[in-house]
Chains A and B, each alone.
Chain A
């Protein structure tokens, strides 16, 4: 079948919306009509190269070329065709994307860490996670790969059932799209990973699509003070609506204030969710964290950078811990439906996260707006 898709052909290029050809789904695959796709910062990392493996590794990864790639890993849509033997999804089902697949059988899936499913290793290489072959082709007949094997910046895509979560039909697909990456990642960073407890002081550094949900998560977990840090005033205002109690424009500005309001105890949890996390930002983030505190690293750092400014003396003597997280350490199959149910019951804000909607053709305008700090989340909507 034919579809329009936004792909990128190389580093620092614009998204290019082109017609592609999609082959029929094979075993354990379905065709999804993506109806809504969130514009997460992680796709921008493909453009800037922060999340592109160095060229010398491509051959080792079995790749002739990393590009072109259809973007998008936050999304929700409707199943329009199923491959042979697919029993858990049917035509007409509503699905949320899951940028981490979950096979349900590997060691990690089997111990409540679906976000670390062994299939995750396949999401950066070649074709489908099912059998490694391609289903998506450009006009010139050459194959094109999909971001996170989802490609939600396409009208249609062939996706493995292991990367899809069935959701109830009363949930708006835009809401589900947001939950599929940004909301779950941010919310889980504050709850599951940081283990925010009632009465805690929590700092969130960077309140975009991810950080705003870390603020919501910290609030739901009963944090007493939630300090949102972002250079953009609009983000800081929004953060107050999502539950922040204080805001600052930089970590440097926040430090004396956090020191004062906690009587020198500093924060119990610090969650790092800026657009790009450079190593030298870690020292500042860690200095906001008190004794016995937890610092969660959610944001993406340039893939090849290997240094971070951390005072290891303080780390040891103040018994701090630094923890990474993917997908907020949640389990997509249990937690995407659970978060959507919180939305249904009114305890999780989703509609308020969407600043602006764009048709697929205007994707570059959407990412410009993200870079310029105009959006909490921009969402691509396909009719």
Chain B
């Protein structure tokens, strides 16, 4: 079939929205009519080259839609089912999946290539070429074909433009606080960068019972939004925050620091570690450029204060458990998804949406298809 998709042909180019050819789903695959896709910063990393995936690639990995057709052997999904895509597939069988770390599913190894999990070929084609898919999903499109391992079935009453956010940003941010940082009641938590990810780290920290939540972002609009999402204090930079946190904690500093800036920087890790107190835990969720290989920080502090520095992928959550779980929290009023969406765009507005992200105007911009 024919459909529309936003393609990145080379690093630095704008997204090109054009018609593509889409093959029917093969065994174990599913054709989905997408309803909405969040515009996460990770797709911007494709454009800047920080994330060196195989191009040309259809962007987008925060999507939700309705199943139109299932391939041979897909027994648990049927046309009409609503699905959110987990940005990491989960096979449910490998050692990581079996032990409760679906975010580290062995199928994740296929993400860089962006071709179908089953046989490594492409179902998406344009200008006579095969196309890769961001996270093997390609949600900047009206339709896509993905592996069943990427599909999470959800209840039909959840609006899909909100549901899509749980495919990446919401679980990643919320889980960074709840699972990776293990925020405990009474903690002081600093969140560095209040975009689509950081906004949810704030919400997670709040639900986990943090006493003080310091949101750090250079953009004033983000700091205002942060207060609505659970922050108790804000600062415009980590330098400013060191003093603030020192004062409000009587020098104890933060128990947890969560890094959710647009682009991570090895040179800033030392500043982040300085926000953390004794036994403080610093969680690195934001992506650093692929070729960056050094980090500046005090090794002596690390030892003498027993600080911890840990990475987190998908908020260390499990797509099949956490996407439905967070949608239930939304339904119960314990998680704000409505307030995360600053602006909606049609697929053709994808470049405007990313410009607004770069300009700090959006918590999340969302592409909405009809």
Contacts and interface: CB of A to CB of B under 8 A. Distances in A.
Contacts, number: 64
B346 interface: no
A106 B100 CA distance: 11
Interface in B52-80: 72-73, 75-76
B166 to A, nearest CB: 14
Contacts of A111: 100, 318, 321
A114 interface: yes
B76 A114 contact: no
A105 B99 contact: no
B100 A104 contact: no
Contacts of B99: 112, 331, 334
25 contacts: A27-B75, A28-B75, A85-B73, A87-B27, A87-B73, A104-B91, A104-B97, A105-B76, A105-B92, A106-B320, A107-B321, A109-B97, A110-B90, A110-B100, A110-B102, A110-B318, A111-B100, A111-B321, A112-B100, A331-B98, A333-B93, A333-B94, A333-B95, A333-B97, A338-B95
Interface residues of A, number: 24
Contact of A85 (B75, B92, B101, B102): B75
Q: Is the interface of B mostly helix, strand, loop or mixed?
A: loop
B93 A104 contact: yes
Mostly, the A contact residues are loop
B28 interface: yes
Q: What are the 9 tightest A-B residue pairs by CB atom distance, in nearest-first order?
A: A112-B100, A104-B92, A334-B98, A110-B321, A110-B320, A333-B98, A331-B98, A85-B73, A334-B95
Q: Which of A28, A102, A106, A111 has the most CB of B within 10 A?
A: A111
B98 A114 contact: yes
B239 to A, nearest CB: 39
Given A27-B75, A111-B321, A88 B93 contact: yes
Interface in B83-108: 90-95, 97-102
A9 interface: no
A113 interface: yes
Interface in B239-288: none
Contacts of B94: 333
Interface in A1-58: 27-28
Contacts of B92: 102-105, 109-110
Interface string A81-98: 000010110000000000
Given A104-B97, A114-B98, A87 B320 contact: no
A85 B148 CA distance: 14
Nearest to A336: B98
A353 B90 CA distance: 36
B327 to A, nearest CB: 13
Given A109-B97, A111-B318, 12 more contacts: A28-B75, A85-B73, A103-B92, A104-B90, A104-B91, A105-B76, A106-B320, A109-B98, A110-B102, A110-B318, A112-B99, A331-B99
Nearest to A109: B92
Nearest to A106: B320
A366 B95 CA distance: 35
Contacts of A103: 92
A379 B297 CA distance: 59
Interface of A: 27-28, 85, 87-88, 102-107, 109-114, 331-335, 337-338
Contacts of A106: 320
A335 B320 CA distance: 21
A100 to B, nearest CB: 12
Contact of A113 (B72, B75, B90, B100): B100
Contacts of B321: 107, 110-111
A103 B27 CA distance: 19
Contacts of A104: 90-93, 97-98
A102 B27 CA distance: 22
A104 B76 CA distance: 12
A106 B73 CA distance: 19
Contacts of B90: 104, 110
A28 B98 CA distance: 19
B98 A102 contact: yes
A112 B320 contact: no
Given A110-B320, A111-B318, A111-B321, A87 B28 contact: yes
Interface string B179-209: 0000000000000000000000000000000
A49 B97 CA distance: 36
Contacts of B325: 107
A107 B153 CA distance: 12
A235 B75 CA distance: 48
A111 B90 CA distance: 12
A103 B98 CA distance: 10
A87 B75 CA distance: 12
Given A104-B92, A107-B321, A112 B98 contact: yes
Q: Among the interface residues B94, B97, B102, which one has the most CB atoms of the partner chain A within 10 A? A: B97
B167 to A, nearest CB: 15
A111 B307 CA distance: 27
Contacts of A334: 95, 98-99
A35 B27 CA distance: 33
Contacts of A333: 93-95, 97-98
A42 B180 CA distance: 39
Contacts of B72: 85
Identify the interface centre among A105, A114, A331: most chain B CB within 10 Å of its CB. Answer: A105
Interface string B298-335: 00000000000000000000111100110000000000
A106 B325 CA distance: 12
Contacts of B91: 104
A109 B321 CA distance: 9
A111 B325 CA distance: 12
The residue among B27, B98, B102 with the most chain A CB atoms within 10 A of its own CB is B98
A348 B101 CA distance: 26
Given A27-B75, A85-B72, A85-B75, A112 B93 contact: no
Nearest to B76: A105
Nearest to A331: B98
